[in-house]
Structure 1
């Protein structure tokens, strides 16, 4: 899983740069200011959780026996897709009802962090 998470983290970082640049340069005059702020929030959390996934992949190289790290990485991937993805689509389409989906992604991200806390408590550093 470490290699998979590392590849996904690298691709996620690549996509976050591309999506962020598109928002900053391609959407500036095409999307309402409030929707552009929503879009940038998606990019911001996308980057945060790319780095979190990268950390999980590196921890897995050192602590492959900690299954909670696998859960953490999986939740980070799914949560980023739901959280940032819903914000991207909402900003691009103006479908504000997608804002009701975004918190689901946030909860999934929180679970990812809880799994990382549990992994740290259970065995990282021992």
Structure 2
């Protein structure tokens, strides 16, 4: 796995997590309910957690595989970004309901990525 790609992806997702976190804490705080804000923050947290994992794996390429990379990368896109879309569209009164089933698919990819990391580490 190309470590530059892994580190760049990690840095991009980390940067976006900070931007989205600030956006949620400041701009969206005025238009979101407390539950919506918590959901948005969950998306930001999981994005940042997995950005950090990608960064660590990029800096220690012994354990990274393309399968782990893609599980975490697509997991972030499906999990976190679907939450952002659901929350913002709901706040605007036009909830994009089709995004609801996408969130757990992203979570499943996170789980598979972690499982692959465990398998890769012990084998």
TM-score (norm 2): 0.88
Tell whether the 8 Å contact from 2:85 to 2:96 is kept in structure 1 after alignment. no
**Which residue number in structure 1 is paired with residue 27 of structure 2?**
26
Structure 2 gaps, min length 5? none
1:111 aligns with 2:105: no
Instruction: Please tell me whether the aligned partners of residues 44 and 80 of structure 2 are also in contact (alpha carbons under 8 angstroms).
Output: yes
1:99 Cα shift?
2.5
Q: Does the alignment pair 1:87 with 2:83?
A: yes
Aligned length: 117
Residue equivalent to 1:8: 9
Report what 1:77 is aligned to.
73
**Which ranges in structure 1 are unaligned for 5 or more consecutive residues?**
none
* Structure 1 contact 56–69 (Cα < 8 Å) conserved: no
SS at match of 2:4: helix
Q: CA RMSD in A?
A: 1.4
**By how many angstroms is 1:96 displaced?**
6.4
Task: Detail structure 1 runs of 4+ shifted over 3 Å in the superposition.
Answer: none
Residues in 2 aligned to 1:59 and 1:118: alpha-carbon distance in whole angstroms: 16
Cα deviations by residue, 1:28-72 (Å, 9 ceiling, x for unpaired)? 111222111110000010111011111221221xx2xx6x62211
